[in-house]
Chain A
Protein backbone atom coordinates (compact mmCIF):
# COMPACT_ATOMS: atom_id res chain seq x y z
CA UNK A 1 0.00 0.00 0.00
CA UNK A 2 0.95 3.58 -0.45
CA UNK A 3 1.56 5.57 2.74
CA UNK A 4 1.48 9.34 2.93
CA UNK A 5 3.35 11.04 5.78
CA UNK A 6 2.89 14.68 6.67
CA UNK A 7 5.81 16.55 8.24
CA UNK A 8 6.09 20.06 9.63
CA UNK A 9 9.07 22.37 10.01
CA UNK A 10 9.00 23.82 13.51
CA UNK A 11 11.33 25.48 15.98
CA UNK A 12 13.59 22.84 17.51
CA UNK A 13 12.08 21.39 20.68
CA UNK A 14 15.10 22.30 22.78
CA UNK A 15 14.92 26.00 21.94
CA UNK A 16 13.51 28.28 24.62
CA UNK A 17 11.44 30.63 22.48
CA UNK A 18 11.14 34.37 23.07
CA UNK A 19 8.12 36.51 22.41
CA UNK A 20 8.81 39.52 20.15
CA UNK A 21 8.82 42.90 21.84
CA UNK A 22 5.92 44.14 19.67
CA UNK A 23 3.79 41.11 20.70
CA UNK A 24 3.28 40.15 17.06
CA UNK A 25 4.55 36.62 17.58
CA UNK A 26 7.50 34.53 18.61
CA UNK A 27 10.98 35.48 17.42
CA UNK A 28 12.05 32.81 14.95
CA UNK A 29 14.92 34.70 13.30
CA UNK A 30 18.16 32.69 13.57
CA UNK A 31 16.50 30.02 15.66
CA UNK A 32 17.25 26.36 14.99
CA UNK A 33 14.43 24.66 13.09
CA UNK A 34 13.77 20.92 12.88
CA UNK A 35 11.18 18.36 11.95
CA UNK A 36 8.37 18.31 14.51
CA UNK A 37 9.15 15.39 16.90
CA UNK A 38 5.74 13.77 16.36
CA UNK A 39 6.31 13.91 12.58
CA UNK A 40 9.62 12.06 13.05
CA UNK A 41 7.64 9.30 14.74
CA UNK A 42 5.19 9.31 11.81
CA UNK A 43 8.02 8.93 9.28
CA UNK A 44 9.57 6.15 11.36
CA UNK A 45 6.28 4.25 11.50
CA UNK A 46 5.86 4.51 7.73
CA UNK A 47 9.41 3.25 7.19
CA UNK A 48 8.80 0.32 9.56
CA UNK A 49 5.63 -0.55 7.64
CA UNK A 50 7.71 -0.61 4.48
CA UNK A 51 10.36 -2.77 6.10
CA UNK A 52 7.62 -5.21 7.14
CA UNK A 53 6.46 -5.36 3.53
CA UNK A 54 3.14 -3.68 4.32
CA UNK A 55 3.90 -0.36 2.66
CA UNK A 56 5.20 -0.26 -0.89
CA UNK A 57 5.75 3.45 -1.31
CA UNK A 58 6.15 6.31 1.16
CA UNK A 59 5.34 9.85 0.08
CA UNK A 60 6.38 12.62 2.47
CA UNK A 61 4.38 15.85 2.29
CA UNK A 62 4.90 19.19 3.93
CA UNK A 63 2.75 22.29 3.75
CA UNK A 64 4.94 25.25 4.56
CA UNK A 65 7.70 27.63 3.53
CA UNK A 66 10.40 26.95 0.92
CA UNK A 67 12.78 26.04 3.73
CA UNK A 68 10.58 23.07 4.68
CA UNK A 69 12.38 21.27 1.83
CA UNK A 70 15.07 20.58 4.44
CA UNK A 71 12.63 18.60 6.56
CA UNK A 72 11.38 16.75 3.48
CA UNK A 73 14.99 15.83 2.62
CA UNK A 74 15.32 14.51 6.17
CA UNK A 75 12.22 12.37 5.63
CA UNK A 76 13.73 11.10 2.36
CA UNK A 77 16.99 10.28 4.16
CA UNK A 78 15.01 8.32 6.74
CA UNK A 79 13.38 6.18 4.07
CA UNK A 80 10.60 8.07 2.27
CA UNK A 81 10.60 7.45 -1.49
CA UNK A 82 9.58 10.88 -2.70
CA UNK A 83 8.39 14.18 -1.37
CA UNK A 84 5.89 16.92 -2.13
CA UNK A 85 6.05 20.46 -0.78
CA UNK A 86 2.90 22.52 -0.84
CA UNK A 87 4.68 25.83 -0.69
CA UNK A 88 3.17 28.71 1.22
CA UNK A 89 5.10 31.31 3.14
CA UNK A 90 2.02 32.43 5.05
CA UNK A 91 1.40 31.02 8.47
CA UNK A 92 -1.42 28.57 7.81
CA UNK A 93 -3.99 27.34 10.27
CA UNK A 94 -4.70 23.63 10.68
CA UNK A 95 -7.81 23.70 8.48
CA UNK A 96 -5.89 25.23 5.56
CA UNK A 97 -3.14 22.62 5.99
CA UNK A 98 -5.76 19.85 6.15
CA UNK A 99 -7.34 21.15 2.93
CA UNK A 100 -3.96 21.20 1.17
CA UNK A 101 -3.26 17.65 2.39
CA UNK A 102 -6.72 16.57 1.24
CA UNK A 103 -5.85 17.79 -2.29
CA UNK A 104 -2.66 15.69 -2.17
CA UNK A 105 -4.59 12.69 -0.82
CA UNK A 106 -7.04 13.00 -3.73
CA UNK A 107 -4.14 12.86 -6.18
CA UNK A 108 -2.01 10.20 -4.52
CA UNK A 109 -4.79 7.98 -3.13
CA UNK A 110 -2.78 6.54 -0.25
CA UNK A 111 -4.24 3.75 1.90
CA UNK A 112 -2.81 5.19 5.06
CA UNK A 113 -1.93 8.77 6.03
CA UNK A 114 0.27 9.21 9.09
CA UNK A 115 0.65 12.54 10.85
CA UNK A 116 2.00 13.61 14.23
CA UNK A 117 -0.60 14.18 16.93
CA UNK A 118 0.37 17.81 17.34
CA UNK A 119 2.99 20.32 16.24
CA UNK A 120 5.05 21.65 19.14
CA UNK A 121 4.77 25.26 17.94
CA UNK A 122 1.02 25.82 17.63
CA UNK A 123 0.12 22.90 19.96
CA UNK A 124 -3.20 22.60 18.10
CA UNK A 125 -3.69 18.85 17.73
CA UNK A 126 -6.18 19.31 14.86
CA UNK A 127 -4.76 18.63 11.40
CA UNK A 128 -5.08 14.83 11.33
CA UNK A 129 -8.65 14.89 12.59
CA UNK A 130 -9.57 17.63 10.10
CA UNK A 131 -8.00 15.75 7.20
CA UNK A 132 -9.98 12.67 8.26
CA UNK A 133 -13.19 14.71 8.22
CA UNK A 134 -12.49 16.28 4.82
CA UNK A 135 -11.56 12.99 3.19
CA UNK A 136 -14.30 11.05 4.98
CA UNK A 137 -11.76 8.56 6.32
CA UNK A 138 -11.68 6.94 9.75
CA UNK A 139 -9.16 8.33 12.23
CA UNK A 140 -6.89 6.69 14.79
CA UNK A 141 -5.46 9.52 16.86
CA UNK A 142 -2.70 9.43 19.52
CA UNK A 143 -1.56 6.01 18.30
CA UNK A 144 0.86 3.96 20.35
CA UNK A 145 0.50 0.85 18.17
CA UNK A 146 -0.50 0.42 14.52
CA UNK A 147 -1.22 -2.97 12.94
CA UNK A 148 -2.43 -3.31 9.38
CA UNK A 149 -4.58 -6.44 8.98
CA UNK A 150 -6.12 -6.98 5.56
CA UNK A 151 -8.41 -4.10 4.68
CA UNK A 152 -8.36 -2.76 8.23
CA UNK A 153 -5.88 -1.13 10.53
CA UNK A 154 -5.97 -1.72 14.28
CA UNK A 155 -4.83 1.31 16.20
CA UNK A 156 -4.10 1.32 19.94
CA UNK A 157 -4.65 4.83 21.22
CA UNK A 158 -3.40 6.62 24.31
CA UNK A 159 -6.46 7.94 26.10
CA UNK A 160 -6.84 9.69 29.46
CA UNK A 161 -7.49 6.57 31.53
CA UNK A 162 -5.17 4.20 29.69
CA UNK A 163 -5.31 2.60 26.25
CA UNK A 164 -8.08 2.03 23.72
CA UNK A 165 -7.98 -0.07 20.57
CA UNK A 166 -10.07 0.70 17.50
CA UNK A 167 -10.33 -1.06 14.14
CA UNK A 168 -10.48 1.31 11.17
CA UNK A 169 -11.44 0.61 7.59
CA UNK A 170 -8.72 1.54 5.12
CA UNK A 171 -7.99 4.11 3.84
CA UNK A 172 -7.50 5.73 7.22
CA UNK A 173 -5.72 8.53 9.03
CA UNK A 174 -3.39 7.83 11.95
CA UNK A 175 -1.78 10.41 14.23
CA UNK A 176 1.23 9.41 16.28
CA UNK A 177 1.81 9.64 19.99
CA UNK A 178 5.26 9.67 21.57
CA UNK A 179 5.35 6.02 22.48
CA UNK A 180 4.58 4.65 19.03
CA UNK A 181 8.25 4.15 18.24
CA UNK A 182 11.79 5.44 18.66
CA UNK A 183 12.74 7.32 15.48
CA UNK A 184 16.05 6.39 13.85
CA UNK A 185 18.77 8.78 12.78
CA UNK A 186 19.56 9.40 9.13
CA UNK A 187 22.93 7.96 8.10
CA UNK A 188 25.34 10.03 6.05
CA UNK A 189 25.08 7.81 2.91
CA UNK A 190 21.28 8.03 3.16
CA UNK A 191 21.43 11.81 3.51
CA UNK A 192 23.51 11.89 0.30
CA UNK A 193 21.11 9.56 -1.50
CA UNK A 194 18.15 11.62 -0.35
CA UNK A 195 19.43 14.57 -2.38
CA UNK A 196 18.69 12.61 -5.55
CA UNK A 197 15.18 11.53 -4.60
CA UNK A 198 12.31 13.43 -6.27
CA UNK A 199 10.84 16.46 -4.48
CA UNK A 200 7.93 18.21 -6.22
CA UNK A 201 6.83 21.70 -5.29
CA UNK A 202 3.25 22.86 -5.79
CA UNK A 203 1.26 25.81 -4.46
CA UNK A 204 -2.12 25.81 -2.70
CA UNK A 205 -3.44 27.87 -5.64
CA UNK A 206 -2.38 25.22 -8.13
CA UNK A 207 -4.19 22.65 -5.98
CA UNK A 208 -7.27 24.87 -5.91
CA UNK A 209 -7.10 25.14 -2.14
CA UNK A 210 -8.20 28.22 -0.24
CA UNK A 211 -6.00 29.05 2.73
CA UNK A 212 -8.42 31.63 4.12
CA UNK A 213 -8.93 31.41 7.85
CA UNK A 214 -11.68 32.27 10.33
CA UNK A 215 -9.17 32.77 13.13
CA UNK A 216 -6.53 35.47 13.47
CA UNK A 217 -3.89 36.00 16.11
CA UNK A 218 -4.33 39.38 17.75
CA UNK A 219 -1.42 39.30 20.13
CA UNK A 220 1.27 37.01 21.51
CA UNK A 221 2.55 37.59 25.03
CA UNK A 222 5.03 35.98 27.36
CA UNK A 223 3.34 33.99 30.11
CA UNK A 224 3.23 35.50 33.56
CA UNK A 225 6.57 34.85 35.21
CA UNK A 226 6.61 32.98 38.49
CA UNK A 227 8.17 34.88 41.33
CA UNK A 228 11.48 33.48 42.46
CA UNK A 229 11.25 30.79 45.09
CA UNK A 230 13.45 29.94 48.00
CA UNK A 231 15.68 26.98 48.73
CA UNK A 232 14.95 25.33 52.03
CA UNK A 233 17.61 23.50 53.99
CA UNK A 234 15.67 20.62 55.44
CA UNK A 235 12.48 18.61 55.18
CA UNK A 236 11.35 20.12 58.49
CA UNK A 237 11.72 23.62 57.11
CA UNK A 238 9.86 22.60 53.93
CA UNK A 239 6.92 21.20 55.89
CA UNK A 240 6.85 24.28 58.12
CA UNK A 241 6.70 26.57 55.06
CA UNK A 242 4.04 24.51 53.31
CA UNK A 243 1.89 24.53 56.43
CA UNK A 244 2.33 28.09 57.65
CA UNK A 245 3.49 30.18 54.69
CA UNK A 246 1.87 28.60 51.63
CA UNK A 247 -0.90 26.92 53.65
CA UNK A 248 -1.32 24.13 51.10
CA UNK A 249 -1.07 21.13 53.43
Chain B
Protein backbone atom coordinates (compact mmCIF):
# COMPACT_ATOMS: atom_id res chain seq x y z
CA UNK B 1 0.00 0.00 0.00
CA UNK B 2 1.28 3.44 -0.88
CA UNK B 3 -0.32 6.71 0.07
CA UNK B 4 -0.05 9.94 -1.88
CA UNK B 5 -0.19 13.08 0.26
CA UNK B 6 -0.67 16.37 -1.57
CA UNK B 7 1.54 19.03 0.03
CA UNK B 8 -0.03 22.28 1.16
CA UNK B 9 2.25 25.18 0.25
CA UNK B 10 2.37 28.71 -1.14
CA UNK B 11 5.27 27.98 -3.57
CA UNK B 12 7.65 29.48 -1.00
CA UNK B 13 7.05 27.49 2.16
CA UNK B 14 5.54 24.16 3.10
CA UNK B 15 2.20 24.55 4.90
CA UNK B 16 2.03 23.22 8.45
CA UNK B 17 -1.16 21.31 7.61
CA UNK B 18 0.96 18.93 5.50
CA UNK B 19 2.50 17.55 8.69
CA UNK B 20 -0.90 16.63 10.13
CA UNK B 21 -1.88 15.03 6.83
CA UNK B 22 1.28 12.91 6.81
CA UNK B 23 0.40 11.89 10.40
CA UNK B 24 -2.99 10.64 9.18
CA UNK B 25 -1.28 8.78 6.31
CA UNK B 26 1.02 7.04 8.78
CA UNK B 27 -1.99 5.92 10.83
CA UNK B 28 -3.40 4.33 7.67
CA UNK B 29 -0.05 2.61 7.18
CA UNK B 30 2.07 2.18 4.09
CA UNK B 31 4.63 4.08 2.07
CA UNK B 32 3.99 7.81 2.29
CA UNK B 33 4.77 9.75 -0.87
CA UNK B 34 4.33 13.53 -0.93
CA UNK B 35 3.43 15.42 -4.10
CA UNK B 36 4.48 19.05 -4.37
CA UNK B 37 2.70 20.68 -7.31
CA UNK B 38 3.47 24.31 -8.01
CA UNK B 39 5.95 26.66 -9.62
CA UNK B 40 9.56 27.09 -8.44
CA UNK B 41 8.88 24.73 -5.59
CA UNK B 42 12.41 23.36 -5.12
CA UNK B 43 12.55 24.73 -1.58
CA UNK B 44 9.15 23.28 -0.70
CA UNK B 45 10.21 19.88 -2.05
CA UNK B 46 13.38 20.00 0.06
CA UNK B 47 11.31 20.77 3.15
CA UNK B 48 8.90 17.94 2.27
CA UNK B 49 11.81 15.50 1.91
CA UNK B 50 12.83 16.24 5.49
CA UNK B 51 9.44 15.33 6.98
CA UNK B 52 9.83 12.31 9.24
CA UNK B 53 8.35 9.17 7.70
CA UNK B 54 8.09 10.33 4.09
CA UNK B 55 9.59 7.82 1.65
CA UNK B 56 9.56 9.86 -1.54
CA UNK B 57 8.73 13.36 -2.75
CA UNK B 58 7.32 13.95 -6.22
CA UNK B 59 7.73 17.42 -7.65
CA UNK B 60 5.55 18.75 -10.46
CA UNK B 61 7.08 22.12 -11.27
CA UNK B 62 5.07 23.90 -13.92
CA UNK B 63 3.68 27.41 -14.36
CA UNK B 64 0.24 25.81 -14.81
CA UNK B 65 0.33 24.61 -11.19
CA UNK B 66 1.54 27.93 -9.73
CA UNK B 67 -1.69 28.76 -7.94
CA UNK B 68 -2.92 25.18 -7.76
CA UNK B 69 -5.93 25.96 -9.90
CA UNK B 70 -8.06 22.80 -9.66
CA UNK B 71 -8.64 22.69 -13.43
CA UNK B 72 -4.89 22.14 -13.80
CA UNK B 73 -3.79 20.21 -10.72
CA UNK B 74 -6.76 17.83 -10.43
CA UNK B 75 -5.92 15.96 -13.69
CA UNK B 76 -2.29 15.67 -12.54
CA UNK B 77 -3.26 14.30 -9.12
CA UNK B 78 -5.89 11.96 -10.56
CA UNK B 79 -3.40 10.51 -13.05
CA UNK B 80 -0.73 9.98 -10.37
CA UNK B 81 -3.32 8.86 -7.82
CA UNK B 82 -4.29 5.78 -9.83
CA UNK B 83 -1.10 4.12 -8.62
CA UNK B 84 -1.91 4.61 -4.92
CA UNK B 85 -4.33 3.09 -2.41
CA UNK B 86 -5.07 6.49 -0.83
CA UNK B 87 -4.82 10.12 -1.89
CA UNK B 88 -4.83 12.57 1.02
CA UNK B 89 -4.91 16.34 1.24
CA UNK B 90 -5.35 18.71 4.15
CA UNK B 91 -8.88 20.03 4.63
CA UNK B 92 -7.74 23.59 3.94
CA UNK B 93 -9.56 25.80 1.43
CA UNK B 94 -6.98 24.61 -1.07
CA UNK B 95 -7.42 20.88 -0.42
CA UNK B 96 -11.19 21.26 -0.32
CA UNK B 97 -11.04 23.03 -3.67
CA UNK B 98 -9.14 20.51 -5.79
CA UNK B 99 -9.58 17.13 -4.09
CA UNK B 100 -13.30 16.52 -4.84
CA UNK B 101 -12.43 17.27 -8.46
CA UNK B 102 -9.76 14.55 -8.26
CA UNK B 103 -12.25 12.11 -6.72
CA UNK B 104 -14.79 12.70 -9.48
CA UNK B 105 -12.10 12.23 -12.16
CA UNK B 106 -11.29 8.89 -10.52
CA UNK B 107 -15.04 8.12 -10.28
CA UNK B 108 -14.91 7.51 -6.51
CA UNK B 109 -16.58 9.15 -3.54
CA UNK B 110 -14.48 11.43 -1.39
CA UNK B 111 -14.38 11.27 2.40
CA UNK B 112 -14.16 14.81 3.78
CA UNK B 113 -12.41 16.03 6.94
CA UNK B 114 -11.56 12.80 8.71
CA UNK B 115 -10.67 13.18 12.39
CA UNK B 116 -9.68 9.57 13.06
CA UNK B 117 -8.36 6.55 11.18
CA UNK B 118 -10.15 3.38 12.33
CA UNK B 119 -8.50 1.14 9.73
CA UNK B 120 -7.14 1.47 6.21
CA UNK B 121 -10.66 1.70 4.79
CA UNK B 122 -12.66 3.05 7.73
CA UNK B 123 -12.59 6.60 9.05
CA UNK B 124 -14.45 8.90 11.43
CA UNK B 125 -15.68 12.31 10.39
CA UNK B 126 -17.97 14.90 11.94
CA UNK B 127 -21.34 15.69 10.36
CA UNK B 128 -24.13 18.14 11.25
CA UNK B 129 -21.68 20.84 12.39
CA UNK B 130 -19.90 18.38 14.64
CA UNK B 131 -23.06 17.29 16.45
CA UNK B 132 -22.61 13.71 15.22
CA UNK B 133 -19.59 11.61 14.32
CA UNK B 134 -20.00 9.24 11.39
CA UNK B 135 -17.88 6.15 10.88
CA UNK B 136 -17.61 5.57 7.14
CA UNK B 137 -16.12 2.71 5.16
CA UNK B 138 -14.81 3.01 1.62
CA UNK B 139 -14.63 0.25 -0.95
CA UNK B 140 -13.05 2.53 -3.56
CA UNK B 141 -9.89 1.33 -5.33
CA UNK B 142 -8.33 4.70 -4.57
CA UNK B 143 -9.56 6.26 -1.34
CA UNK B 144 -9.67 10.03 -1.69
CA UNK B 145 -9.68 11.79 1.67
CA UNK B 146 -9.28 15.25 3.18
CA UNK B 147 -7.80 15.40 6.68
CA UNK B 148 -8.86 17.78 9.43
CA UNK B 149 -5.55 19.00 10.83
CA UNK B 150 -6.75 19.33 14.42
CA UNK B 151 -7.58 15.60 14.47
CA UNK B 152 -3.96 14.48 14.08
CA UNK B 153 -0.77 15.51 15.87
CA UNK B 154 1.76 16.87 13.39
CA UNK B 155 4.72 14.63 12.53
CA UNK B 156 8.23 16.02 12.94
CA UNK B 157 9.24 18.43 10.17
CA UNK B 158 12.84 17.25 10.42
CA UNK B 159 14.51 13.89 10.48
CA UNK B 160 13.51 12.41 7.12
CA UNK B 161 15.65 12.13 4.04
CA UNK B 162 13.33 11.18 1.21
CA UNK B 163 14.41 11.09 -2.41
CA UNK B 164 13.05 13.86 -4.61
CA UNK B 165 11.80 12.88 -8.05
CA UNK B 166 10.47 15.17 -10.77
CA UNK B 167 7.15 14.26 -12.40
CA UNK B 168 5.23 15.92 -15.17
CA UNK B 169 1.56 16.15 -15.90
CA UNK B 170 -0.94 17.83 -18.16
CA UNK B 171 -0.29 21.44 -19.18
CA UNK B 172 -2.61 24.39 -18.53
CA UNK B 173 -6.19 23.32 -19.25
CA UNK B 174 -6.89 26.88 -20.39
CA UNK B 175 -10.19 27.04 -18.50
CA UNK B 176 -9.23 29.34 -15.66
CA UNK B 177 -6.68 31.96 -14.77
CA UNK B 178 -5.35 33.44 -11.55
CA UNK B 179 -6.12 37.17 -11.37
CA UNK B 180 -4.97 38.28 -7.95
CA UNK B 181 -4.80 37.75 -4.25
CA UNK B 182 -5.44 39.87 -1.18
CA UNK B 183 -3.86 38.28 1.84
CA UNK B 184 -4.52 39.52 5.34
CA UNK B 185 -1.30 40.46 7.12
CA UNK B 186 -0.70 39.24 10.62
CA UNK B 187 2.34 38.85 12.86
CA UNK B 188 0.47 36.61 15.28
CA UNK B 189 0.58 32.82 15.05
CA UNK B 190 -1.58 31.16 12.43
CA UNK B 191 -5.09 30.58 13.77
CA UNK B 192 -5.31 26.86 12.99
CA UNK B 193 -1.88 26.10 14.49
CA UNK B 194 -1.88 28.39 17.55
CA UNK B 195 -1.66 26.90 21.04
CA UNK B 196 -3.86 29.67 22.40
CA UNK B 197 -6.70 31.40 20.57
CA UNK B 198 -8.54 34.49 21.77
CA UNK B 199 -11.79 35.09 19.88
CA UNK B 200 -14.22 37.97 19.86
CA UNK B 201 -17.88 38.06 18.91
CA UNK B 202 -20.67 40.54 18.46
CA UNK B 203 -20.20 41.62 22.07
CA UNK B 204 -17.00 43.40 21.05
CA UNK B 205 -19.22 46.18 19.68
CA UNK B 206 -16.89 47.37 16.93
CA UNK B 207 -13.61 46.60 15.16
CA UNK B 208 -11.69 49.12 17.21
CA UNK B 209 -12.50 47.30 20.42
CA UNK B 210 -10.68 44.22 19.10
CA UNK B 211 -7.48 45.97 20.14
CA UNK B 212 -8.03 44.79 23.71
CA UNK B 213 -8.10 41.22 22.38
CA UNK B 214 -4.94 41.84 20.35
CA UNK B 215 -3.22 43.13 23.48
CA UNK B 216 -4.26 40.04 25.43
CA UNK B 217 -3.29 37.76 22.54
CA UNK B 218 0.16 39.34 22.24
CA UNK B 219 0.76 38.82 25.94
CA UNK B 220 -0.23 35.15 25.62
CA UNK B 221 1.42 34.53 22.22
CA UNK B 222 -2.05 33.71 20.94
CA UNK B 223 -3.84 33.98 17.62
CA UNK B 224 -7.01 36.05 17.37
CA UNK B 225 -10.22 34.59 15.98
CA UNK B 226 -13.78 35.78 15.61
CA UNK B 227 -17.35 34.57 15.40
CA UNK B 228 -19.37 34.96 12.24
CA UNK B 229 -21.32 37.80 13.83
CA UNK B 230 -18.11 39.79 14.29
CA UNK B 231 -17.04 39.11 10.70
CA UNK B 232 -20.42 39.93 9.21
CA UNK B 233 -20.54 43.16 11.20
CA UNK B 234 -17.23 44.09 9.56
CA UNK B 235 -15.25 44.17 12.82
CA UNK B 236 -12.54 41.87 11.40
CA UNK B 237 -11.71 40.14 8.08
CA UNK B 238 -13.40 36.84 7.24
CA UNK B 239 -10.26 34.72 7.41
CA UNK B 240 -10.42 35.17 11.19
CA UNK B 241 -13.75 33.34 11.41
CA UNK B 242 -13.87 30.23 13.56
CA UNK B 243 -16.76 27.85 12.97
CA UNK B 244 -18.51 25.40 10.67
CA UNK B 245 -18.00 27.71 7.73
CA UNK B 246 -14.72 29.21 8.87
CA UNK B 247 -11.66 27.66 10.41
CA UNK B 248 -11.60 24.65 12.70
CA UNK B 249 -9.26 25.10 15.65
CA UNK B 250 -8.35 22.88 18.60
CA UNK B 251 -5.83 24.85 20.68
CA UNK B 252 -4.76 24.14 24.24
CA UNK B 253 -6.70 27.19 25.36
CA UNK B 254 -9.61 28.94 23.63
CA UNK B 255 -10.86 32.19 25.15
CA UNK B 256 -14.28 33.21 23.81
CA UNK B 257 -15.05 36.84 24.50
CA UNK B 258 -18.50 38.24 23.82
CA UNK B 259 -19.47 35.12 21.86
CA UNK B 260 -22.87 33.56 22.59
CA UNK B 261 -21.87 30.10 21.35
CA UNK B 262 -24.14 29.25 18.40
CA UNK B 263 -23.97 25.65 17.08
CA UNK B 264 -22.05 26.86 14.02
CA UNK B 265 -19.38 28.53 16.14
CA UNK B 266 -19.01 25.59 18.51
CA UNK B 267 -18.39 23.37 15.45
CA UNK B 268 -15.13 25.20 14.97
CA UNK B 269 -13.71 25.18 18.49
CA UNK B 270 -15.30 22.63 20.77
CA UNK B 271 -12.34 20.26 20.54
CA UNK B 272 -10.14 22.84 22.27
CA UNK B 273 -8.53 21.41 25.39
CA UNK B 274 -9.63 24.18 27.73
CA UNK B 275 -12.37 26.67 26.88
CA UNK B 276 -12.83 29.94 28.73
CA UNK B 277 -15.91 32.07 28.19
CA UNK B 278 -16.21 35.71 29.15
CA UNK B 279 -19.74 36.95 28.63
CA UNK B 280 -22.08 39.19 30.52
CA UNK B 281 -25.11 37.00 29.69
CA UNK B 282 -25.00 34.11 32.12
CA UNK B 283 -27.54 32.20 29.98
CA UNK B 284 -25.27 32.24 26.89
CA UNK B 285 -24.89 28.71 25.44
CA UNK B 286 -21.10 29.12 25.39
CA UNK B 287 -21.11 28.48 29.16
CA UNK B 288 -22.36 24.92 28.50
CA UNK B 289 -19.07 24.01 26.83
CA UNK B 290 -16.74 26.30 28.78
CA UNK B 291 -14.41 24.78 31.36
CA UNK B 292 -14.16 28.16 33.03
CA UNK B 293 -16.83 30.76 32.68
CA UNK B 294 -16.69 34.34 33.84
CA UNK B 295 -19.90 36.34 33.84
CA UNK B 296 -18.57 39.86 33.46
CA UNK B 297 -18.40 42.90 31.22
CA UNK B 298 -15.67 42.04 28.72
CA UNK B 299 -14.46 45.65 28.57
CA UNK B 300 -13.47 45.38 32.24
CA UNK B 301 -12.50 41.71 32.35
CA UNK B 302 -10.24 41.55 29.27
CA UNK B 303 -7.89 44.42 30.22
CA UNK B 304 -7.78 43.07 33.77
CA UNK B 305 -6.93 39.61 32.40
CA UNK B 306 -4.23 41.11 30.21
CA UNK B 307 -2.60 42.72 33.24
CA UNK B 308 -2.88 39.53 35.30
CA UNK B 309 -1.20 37.10 32.89
Closest residue on chain A to residue B98 by CB atoms: A129
B137 A162 Cβ-Cβ under 8 A: no
A220 B176 Cβ-Cβ under 8 A: no
A residues near B110, Cβ cutoff 8 Å: 94-95, 124, 126, 130
A213 to B138: give the CA distance in the assembly, Å. 9
A26 sits at the interface (CB 8 A): yes
A30 to B112: give the CA distance in the assembly, Å. 28
B264 sits at the interface (CB 8 A): yes
Dominant SS among interface residues on chain A: mixed
B103 A95 Cβ-Cβ under 8 A: yes
Closest residue on chain A to residue B130 by CB atoms: A223
**Interface range on chain B (Cβ under 8 Å from partner):** 35 or more
B100 A130 Cβ-Cβ under 8 A: yes
The residue that B112 contacts in the complex, of A124, A137, A231, A238, with Cβ under 8 A, is A124
The residue that B126 contacts in the complex, of A93, A157, A223, A234, with Cβ under 8 A, is A223
A167 B104 Cβ-Cβ under 8 A: no
A55 sits at the interface (CB 8 A): no
Interface string of B275-303 (1 = CB under 8 A from A): 11000001000010111111110000100
A148 to B139: give the CA distance in the assembly, Å. 41
B237 A11 Cβ-Cβ under 8 A: no
A236 to B238: give the CA distance in the assembly, Å. 33
Max chain A C-beta neighbours (<10 A), residue from B138, B275, B287, B308: B308
Max chain A C-beta neighbours (<10 A), residue from B107, B127, B131: B127
Closest residue on chain B to residue A248 by CB atoms: B253
B residues near A129, Cβ cutoff 8 Å: 70, 96-101, 104
* B147–chain A nearest beta-carbon distance, Å: 14
> Could you say which of B32-40, B42-50, B181-189 contacts chain A?
B181-189
The residue that A178 contacts in the complex, of B122, B128, B129, B228, with Cβ under 8 A, is B228
A242 to B93: give the CA distance in the assembly, Å. 33
The residue that A232 contacts in the complex, of B93, B107, B139, B293, with Cβ under 8 A, is B293
Max chain B C-beta neighbours (<10 A), residue from A16, A120, A126, A231: A126
A residues near B245, Cβ cutoff 8 Å: 117-118, 177-178
A238 B140 Cβ-Cβ under 8 A: no
Q: Which chain A residues have a beta carbon within 8 Å of chain B's beta carbons?
A: 11, 13-14, 16-17, 19, 26, 93-95, 98, 117-118, 120-134, 136-142, 144, 154, 157-169, 177-179, 213-223, 226, 229-236, 238-239, 241-242, 246, 248-249
Having A129-B101, A162-B182, A220-B135, one finds 20 other A-B pairs with CB under 8 Å, namely A121-B127, A123-B112, A123-B127, A129-B70, A129-B97, A133-B105, A139-B97, A141-B96, A162-B237, A163-B181, A163-B182, A166-B178, A215-B136, A215-B140, A216-B139, A222-B133, A231-B293, A232-B294, A238-B294, A248-B273
Q: Which chain B residues have a beta carbon within 8 Å of chain A's beta carbons?
A: 67, 69-71, 74, 92-94, 96-105, 107-113, 122, 126-140, 174-184, 192, 196, 220, 228, 231-232, 237-239, 244-245, 247, 252-253, 263-264, 270, 273-276, 282, 287, 289-296, 301, 304-305, 308-309
